[in-house]
Homo-oligomer: A and B are copies of this chain.
């Protein structure tokens, strides 16, 4: 524990100590140009003696014009963003690819209610590229800022902007597929449980008109997919947060009614919401799937859930890796095409034909 108030050793100091020029010392460290073996040794020895731990990343970055950092912009508080296992698996896949680039991931939280507040932070950080993932508002002031700085961006569908390379999921088709599955099973009274449509959405019943001023395209498109199969008069609810808690609260509004009115199935816009429905059903004494079929969206692991949820699998980890690939190509100077992925319908134990009534 020496009180090391002396500034860190620099390459120049090492070069001097080794009796060579800084250029040579630099070459010796990076292993680029041709340097005599014993010179390298002398430099390395001097470095060890002075406690030099390698070139200062900041100086090196400045010269190269690369910081080795990729920004990941997430919506709202980390607590909410990462509560969803889907977000986490995307991030996990992304990190696998970025590890190889190599690049680090810098987390940047941006609240949908005041997206402009993140700009000063963005402006002050050296970023090689940015991923918009799990982050909602469709027009985002950060896009303008980053575009002006010439920083490449990838997104998962939003913000919808041609300057952002998109790896989107066909939300509408996926949602329609799972809805059709229920219809094929014979369900007619089917309710829809939506993720937030806006940053200030309250949990509660909703109608089709709510879609008109949706901020989040995911939620809107999944709702449209549902409405492609079931009609506008279907019971719908939205939530303030896409978590189990709010899912259960909204599900109670959908399910707590006389049997003749009660939906025989609920199409939830995420697996977490679906878990909320299951929980609410449980509280109301409804068995899944005998009394109520439930579907989710995302395809996350739900280890605490006995059984398997019927859902649309988005393959989060794979999606994260794909985002990473796009990023890698962007960093290499390419301009990859937008991509649209399809989700896979995965039938579990939470859906069945409705009871005869």
Contact = CB atoms under 8 A, between A and B. Distances in A.
B79 A92 contact: yes
Given A104-B107, A149-B8, A83 B88 contact: yes
Given A243-B303, A304-B279, A68 B124 contact: yes
7 contacts: A58-B58, A77-B92, A77-B95, A82-B88, A82-B92, A83-B85, A243-B303
Interface in A161-182: 162-163
A21 B164 CA distance: 36
Interface stretch (A59-67, A188-196, A202-210, A341-349): A59-67
A130 interface: no
A67 B58 contact: yes
Quickly give the copy total for this chain. 2
A166 to B, nearest CB: 15
A126 B57 contact: yes
A192 B146 CA distance: 52
Nearest to A74: B95
A89 B95 contact: no
Contact of A1 (B106, B109, B162, B244): B162
A45 interface: no
B77 A82 contact: no
Given A106-B106, A282-B306, A150 B8 contact: yes
Contact of A53 (B79, B121, B149, B244): B149
A131 to B, nearest CB: 12
Interface in A78-107: 78-79, 82-83, 85, 88-89, 91-92, 95-96, 99, 102, 104-107
Given A105-B106, A106-B105, A88 B78 contact: yes
Interface in A278-311: 279, 282-283, 303-306
A280 to B, nearest CB: 10
Nearest to A333: B5
